[in-house]
Amino acid sequence: MSDSREIIINRAVKEIEEGMVVNLGIGMPTMIADKIPAEKNIFLHSENGMLGIGNYPIEGEEDADLINAGKETVTAKPGAAFFDNAESFAMIRGGHVDLTILGGMEVSQTGDLANWMIPGKMVKGMGGAMDIVQGARKVVIIMTHTNKAGEAKIKKQCDLPLTGQGVVNRVITDMAVFDFTNEGMVLREALNGHSIELIKENTDADFTIDPSLSGGQ
């Protein structure tokens, strides 16, 4: 795992609180499962019909019927429940998922999210992302702060097709943590020793700074 991913995942796991029902998206979010302390009583939910996902299995003990959103084999915790796809989405749409942590391609300063396709590239479908960002009680997006070309991924306005408008509550990158409030986007934390000035340089969006941060106004 790269240093950037390690920073993001270690910070993201702190979002998960005792007793939560949590949905983890494909890609980097699925790595969070192995970081959750064993003593913490939480319930990982998969839109493909499982509540109570455990850690990744030991090699040789995989069960092809137990998979996460990314189609990776997982284990089931004691007391796990299995159900059909319709029941799973009823849980999501009914507001029974406390927290979802998803990957992102772009996030706007108003909390819009683009994470399901890049025009011109083949895509299998949007999966459950559009339902999850509307149905979960809290939506946290994790992603690198800039793309491979060094361009900001937190922008005034998303250029890619939207997954949802105004749905993001928090975004965690390898540089910072931002919240989306009625007053706009707020920088809450600077991560890994990054200065506020460097964060500003790598963020296209407009934001205010939490007064608790050094130099915040």
DSSP per-residue letters across 26-43: SSGGGGGGGGS-TTS--E
pLDDT in tens, 2-45: 799 999 999 999 999 999 999 999 889 999 998 999 889 999 99
Q: pLDDT tier at 195 (50, 70, 90 boundaries)?
A: very high
Query: What is the CATH number that goes with domain 3-209?
Result: 3.40.1080.10
Q: What is the pLDDT of residue 70?
A: 78
Tell me whether residue 189 is one of the annotated catalytic residues.
no
Q: Which residues contact 130 (CB under 8 A, 6 or more apart)?
A: 116, 163, 164
Is residue 160 within 8 A of residue 112, CB to CB? The reply is: no
Phi-psi category of residue 163: left, alpha or beta, with phi > 0 → left and psi -120 to 50 → alpha: alpha
Instruction: List the domain boundaries for the chain.
Output: 3-209
Share of the chain above pLDDT 90, in %: 80
Choosing from 15, 47, 87, 201, the catalytic residue is 47
Residue 111's nearest CA partner among 185, 172, 199 is 185
Of 119-123, 158-162, 175-179, the poorest mean pLDDT is in: 119-123
pLDDT at 216: 43
pLDDT for residue 130 is more than 50? yes
pLDDT at 217: 41
